[in-house]
Amino acid sequence: MLTARDITVRYGERTVVNSVSFHVRPGEWWMLVGPNGAGKSSLVRALAQAVPYEGDFLLEGVPMRGRKPADVARVMAVLSQQHAVQYSYTVEELVRLGRYAHERGFLRHMDSAGDEAISQALRDTGLTDRRHASLLALSGGEQQRVFLAQVFAQQPRLMVLDEPANHLDLKYQQQIFGLIQRWLMQGGRSVLSVVHDLSLARRYGTHALLLNDGRSAAIGPVREVLAPQVLSDVYEMDVFGWMRGLLSPWTQEE
């Protein structure tokens, strides 16, 4: 599905991603994890062709550099970390933007498959009754769900999600991650996501890439990469002990 070969991203003199390679197959959910400043978001932005990079991304075997953005967007959808919305678009107007790459020619507004995809995406993200609401009237979590609905409406084969759990409360974390997992299981599809919450990464990921200082510190099946010892080395703390400690007040009460 996606192959990254020796990806290097530099901002001026500073190298933020240093010669990273990985290979995502259909059916796999890759978790991109690592401490702050490890280069996760930069790697995603390079994949989204938003920053210059060295090396190659192959999407379904074809190099991405120089390809038409609309051709890429029919295969790969990207959820970037969102910034404040400026104008009062409705939920439906924003989700409809996800259909851009599928709408072709002069009659591009006659995209009937699109209407169905949009309705489905709104249903899946629990936004059907907010369809005509203004984005500015929504909470951060609701806005995040709108942008996720846009990704679903795009009907890609590869989803690239930068912090999909951002602003989501626990109920919607569970719902959205479950939704992505069911989407993934329909076959021929892959997910690559940046996730801060290591327990979410461990629970839903099939594979993981652990970045540290722009370099790949560990790569492979999620069970091996997110092993306590590997994590403790990179995060320079007892990650497992800390997470167990977080739960201990409840487990002790039980």
Partner 1 sequence: MAESKLTHRLTIPLCAVLLAGVFLLCVCAGSVAIPLGETLSVIRRALLGEEVTGSAAAILLRVRLPRVCCVALSGAALSLCGAAMQGLLRNPLADGSTLGVSAGASLGAVASLAFDLTLPAVPMAGTMAMAMLFAFLSLLLILSLAFTLDRSFSTHSIILIGIIFSMFASALMSLVISFAGEKIKSITFWTIGSLSGASWQQAGILLAALCLASLVLMRLWRELNAFAVGEENARAVGISVRAVKLTVLIVVSVLIGVCVSVGGTISFVGLVMPHIARMLVGPNHRRLLPASMYAGAVFLLLADLAARTLLSPIELSIGVVTSLVGAVAFVWIFRATKGGRR
The residues binding partner 1 (CB under 8 A) are 45, 48-50, 68-74, 77-80, 82-83, 85-90, 93-94, 97-98, 100-101, 103, 132, 136, 147, 150, 154
**In the bound complex, what is the minimum distance in angstroms from residue 10's beta carbon to partner 1?**
14
The residue (of 162 and 226) whose beta carbon lies closer to partner 1 is 162
Pick the closer one to partner 1 by CB: 24 or 198.
24
CA-CA distance, 193 to 152, in Å (whole number)? 15
Please state the closest distance from residue 229 (CB atom) to partner 1, in A.
Answer: 36
Nearer to partner 1 by C-beta: 91 or 222?
91
Residue with Cβ nearer partner 1 (79 or 226) = 79
Q: Within its chain, how far is the Cα of 174 from the centroid?
A: 15
CB of 189 to partner 1, least distance (A): 17
Q: Is the CB of 43 or the CB of 101 nearer to partner 1?
A: 101
Write down the least CB distance from residue 47 to partner 1, Å.
11
Category of 126 on φ-ψ map: left (φ > 0), alpha (ψ -120 to 50) or beta: left
- The H or E element that residue 151 is part of is helix 140-153
How far is Cα 29 from Cα 246, in angstroms, rounded to an integer?
A: 26
Asked whether the beta carbons of 210 and 33 are under 8 A apart, the reply is: yes
How far is 239 from 34, CA to CA, in rounded Å? 12
Report DSSP state, residue 90.
B
Q: How near is the Cβ of 151 to partner 1 at its closest, in Å?
A: 8
Question: What letter would DSSP give residue 102?
Answer: G
